[in-house]
Structure formats: structure tokens, C-alpha cells
Structure 1
Amino acid sequence: MDIGSTSQEKARFFAGAWGRFKALPGQLMARIISIAKSIKKLGQDDPRRLIHSFKVGLALSLVSLLYYARPLYDGFGVAGMWAVLTVVVVFEFTVGGTLSKCLNRGFATFLAGGLGIGADYFASLFGKQGEPIVLGILVFVLAAAATFSRFFPRIKARYDYGVLIFILTFSLVAVSGYRVDELVVLAHQRLSTIIMGGATCMLISIFICPVWAGEDLHKAVASNLEKLATYLEGSH
């Protein structure tokens, strides 16, 4: 009796497992169709989203030439990767957003690079034994001060990204300067590639199907006024 009931339980288990396995392709296909419909709806709601995606891909492809083209790679070396990183972090949906991030990144990189070179030179005055200690202190002080400044509401609202880039660039330049002999050349290469990445973003953002935040604001205001008018008409 026990053997028979055990066999029946096993049979039911395998039958259920087989049923779930057979239903798996259908469930997977339904999931794929659902995702495809969501993507289609997202693109139809605002076709500019799809265009923006292609613009980012185009910008990344162009700055990647700094790596792919041998003459450019010989001139910039591995610093070309900074152009790729710049495109990834500064390319925004609107022209104004892209311009703001480009200016923030450019100014912060220039300032942090100059301070990093100065910090490296100042630390070198203390000799080989004292140089890493002084560099560590300078990195700590400037990074802590810059991080604290991000808590000010005005800086948080307008310059938070720039402060973040300042901390990153200063730390990288100051720390890498301890092992790199030609620090000025390295800083120049990084700044040049960052400018190239930012310029690529700006040119593509402005000249290929530009999106202006003012247009969205105007449409939003017009839509809200229409809704308000409809509501007032209905209330009467």
C-alpha cells in the first residue's frame, strides 16, 4: 500500500514538473512580448528618447576612434578612455543639461588638474620619504573640504557634479603623480581627451535633433492650462 502511494506521489510530481516545463516556452514568449510592447509604448510616447539613445551611441563610436585609430592612439595613449567616460557621464537628454555638465566637468577638471600638479610639486620638496605623506594629507584635506561643500544647498543644486569631478580628478592626478614622471603630459592628455568628449557631446546634441528644455516647459504649461480650462468649463 505504501509502495503504491509513493509511486503515485512520484508520478504526480513528475507530471507537474513536466507540465511546468512545457509551459515555460509559452511563459517566456509572453514575457518577451510584454517587454517588447513596453519598449514600443515608451518610444511612441516620446520618439525623442529613441533618437537620444542613437545620439549617445554615435558619440561613443566617434570618441572610440581615439583608441581604434593608430595615429590618434599614438598621440593620446590610454588617456583616450577619458573621452569615452566623458560622453557616458555628460550626455544628457536636453542640450542645456549636456552643456551644463560639460562646463562643470571641464572647469572642475582644469582646476583639479592644476591643483594636482601643484600638490605633486609641493610634496616633492619634502623628499622621497615625506612626499607620500604630504600627498596623503593634501588629498585628505581637499577631498574632505570638497565633499563637505556638497552639503551646501546652492552648491548641491548647481555644482554637485562639478565638485564630484574635482574630487575624482584631483585624487587621480595627485596620487598618480607619485609614480608618473611626466605628470604635466599626462594631465594635458587627459584634459584634451575630456574636451574632445565634451565637444563631441555638444555638437551632436545641438546639431542632431536637438531637444531644448524650454520647449518641454512650454508644452507642459500649455497642457496644464488646457486641463485647467476644461475643468473650469466643466464646473460651470
Structure 2
Amino acid sequence: MAKEKEVSGKLEWRVNEPDGTSRVLVPESELGHKAWLLWLKGLFYRPISKIWRFLDKSWNLGVAEPQKVIHGAKVGLALLIVSIFYYNQNLYDGVGGYATWAIMTVVVVFESNVGATLSKCINRATGTFLAGSLALGVQWIACKSGETFKPIIIGISVFILAWLQFLAIENQVDKLFAFASQRFSTIAVGISLCIIISMLFCPIWAGSELHNLIVRNLEKLADSLEGSVAEYFKDDKTVLGNEEDPSIRIEGYKCVLNSKATEDVMANFARWEPAHGLFNFRHPWKQYLMIGASMRNCAYCIEALNSCVNSEIQAPDYLKKHFSNACMILSSNSSEVLRELAYTMKTMTKSSKIDFLVEEINLAVLELQDSLKSVPNSPIEPT
């Protein structure tokens, strides 16, 4: 049953429910109006929310990895400039309508660091020059050798794209040389533009990246060594709530073990780079690979030590207590040497206390050897 009630000058319909309550009966016109508003809101809200989420993710990526943003901006700038040859009619006619090769060159050779870009630019220029020279030579030989050898030579050159493009000109030598010069000029424009933008606008040097990687790995190795020994000899009854999770420091050696491929690639690209910053021409980049190999040998030892920490079978407490002091001193001194080496590499200066730290390591080794000679056979009872 429905009741009609006047509220604030308006009619309100209520429907009595079987349980004795009543509810307001909303007119169908009002429901349609609300549905229309919800549809209109969704129509504008969804694209705006997607755009906002995209901008938020882009901002977070830029904050977390600014080098990717810089690289993207540099590639966009290079493509913007080289596209002028495609959209400007005078420049387009000047390169014979082959402006697309300049754009393709930018896409192919532009890399995130200067060394990789220079390496690809040189390879691109060398490959184009050799392919063009071979194509011109094949064209000349085919013209001079007569009809007997011409099909054979053309059949051999069919596997190389550049040769096919040159040979498609047939026997018109003037057009052949014009095509070759225009092709070389567009590629030269793309290569020059990539080198200039890569080296002048926020350059990312592979040598600096390799240098910083070695420094970070030395610091992680020091923290991992000290943390592993401290974790093994710690007192289970002692709870240090203010310190960070020790497993984060201990796992640092894994970064050293997994960095070999990155070190090899960066060292290869660094050889192509000119002198920059603190790195002169013919900088000994191979020495960085030797340092990385030595650090990985140390990381393998830490990995073996870490397996002892996580092993189900542990040494007796009295043995841990006997070796605790000597091992803690040795690990602390070794970590100090690694941190001093990291600081020396970071500042590229000669350390004034490295000899003193090495001498302390030798004394700690002698102390550990003395502890090994006096290993107790059974737990020492307190008196």
C-alpha cells in the first residue's frame, strides 16, 4: 500500500513493506536522471584517471631511474632534428629523397651511454663504406667482364641488401655514384647527430658507470663480510631492535657475483670513449675487470661462510665463543680494508693508511692461528 505525503512542498510516495517498515518510492524519471549522471561521470573520469595513472608511473620511473628519462629525451631530440630532413622539401631534395636512412641510423645506433653509441656509429659507418665499396667494385667488374661473368657476380651479391640497391641502378654509373653519395651523406648526418647529442647533452659515460659499479661492489662486499661474521657469532639472547635487518647487508655479495657480464660490457664500451672527467685517454679499463674478478673470489668465500650461518648443523657454543673474538677482529679489519679501497677508488687518490690496515689484518690472522692451536676439547666449566 502506498501513501502520499507532502514534505517541504513536494509529494513523497512511501511503500509499506510486509515487515512494517516503509521506503520512499523514487520516480522512474529520477532514476533515469541519476543513471545519466553516472554514465556522464564515468565517460570523463575513466580517461582522466588513466592519464593520471600514466603520469604518476612516469614520474615514479623518472625519480627511480633518471638515466632512462634522460636517454629517452635525447633520442627524441635526435629524431626531432633529423626529421627536419624528411619534412623540409629543400633538405629532402638535397639528399635525393633518402632522408629515411638518417632516421633509421638514429634509431639503430643511439644507445644509453656514449661508449655504446660511438661503437655502433663506427660499426655503422664502416659497414656502410665496405658494403658500398664492394657494390661499386662488383658493378665495375660486371660491366667490364662481359655477359659471361655478369650473372654470376650479380647472383653472389644478392645476399647483401646494400648490393641489391646499388645493382638495381643497372649500368647508369652517374646515377650509381649519386645514389651512393646520397646514401652515405644521410647516414653521416644521422651518425654525427647521435654523437653530438650523446656527448654534449647530459652525457652518460660507460667508464663512469663502470667506476661507480666497482666502488659500490667493494662497499657491498665489506658490509656483507662484516655482517656474515657478526650474524654467525651473535648471541641468540641479544635482540637489537634498533638495527636494520642484517640479511639485507649479508646478501650484498650476490650483487658482486652477478655483475660480471655488466662489467665486461661497460669495459668494452669505455674503450671507445674519449677522455672525460677524471679518466684520461688510454685509461686502464682492463684493471677494473681484474678488480672485479678478485672481488668475486672474495664473494665466493662469503657465500661459503653464509652457508655455514644458515646450516642446520652448527658448531658447539664453546667453540664459537673460543673463536668469536679473533674472527670478529679479522672480519672487521678486512672490511675496513675493503672500505678504504672503495674510498680510494671513489676519490682516485692514494691511501695513506692502507699499509697500516693491512698490517692489522696480518696481526689478526696471527691471533686466529693462535686460537686454532689452543682449541679446547670440551666445554670449559665455570669456576
The structure with the largest helix share of the pair is 1
* 2:187 is the alignment partner of 1:194: yes
How far residue 69 of structure 1 moved from its aligned partner, in angstroms, is 2.6
1:51 to 70, 76, 79: 70
* 1:65 is the counterpart of 2:58: no
- 1:27 positional shift: 8.4
In the aligned structure 1, how far is the partner of 2:172 from the partner of 2:75? 33
**What pairs with 1:81-160 in structure 2 (closer than 5 Å)?**
81-125=100-144, 131=150, 133-140=151-158, 143=159
Q: Distance in 1 between matches of 2:72 and 2:171?
A: 39
* CA-atom RMSD in angstroms: 2.9
Query: CA 1:47 to 1:28, structure 2 compared with 1: closer, same or farther past 3 Å?
Result: same
Q: How far apart are residue 110 of structure 1 and its match?
A: 0.8
- Mapped to 2, the partners of 1:74 and 1:27 lie a distance apart of 46
Report which structure shows greater RCO (CA 8 Å, sep ≥6): 1
User: Which residue of structure 2 aligns with residue 148 of structure 1?
Assistant: none
Distance across 1 between alignment mates of 2:114 and 2:153: 39
Number of aligned residue pairs: 190
Unaligned segments of structure 2, at least 5 residues: 1-38, 231-383
Give the 3 Å change call, closer, same or farther, for CA 225–138 of structure 1 in structure 2: same
Match of 1:42 among 45, 61, 76: 61
- Highest CA radius of gyration, 1 or 2? 2
2:320 aligned partner: none
Query: 1:16 — aligned with what?
Result: none
Distance in 1 between the 2:54 and 2:87 partners?
A: 35
Q: Which runs of 5+ in 1 are unaligned?
A: 1-21, 144-166
1:66-108 CA distance string (max 9 Å, x none):
2233332222121221111111111111111111111001011
CA deviations on 1:18-47 (whole Å, 9 max, x unpaired) are xxxx8x988887776665444333222221
Distance 1:31 1:80, change over 3 A: closer
Q: 2:170 aligns with which of 161, 174, 178?
A: 178
The whole-number CA distance in structure 1 between the counterparts of 2:46 and 2:93 is 52
TM-score (norm 1): 0.68
1:47–1:27: structure 2 CA closer, same or farther, 3 Å change rule?
same
Higher-strand-fraction structure? 2
Contact preservation (8 Å) 1:67, 1:77: no
Identity of aligned residues (%): 42
User: Displacement, 1:130?
Assistant: 7.1
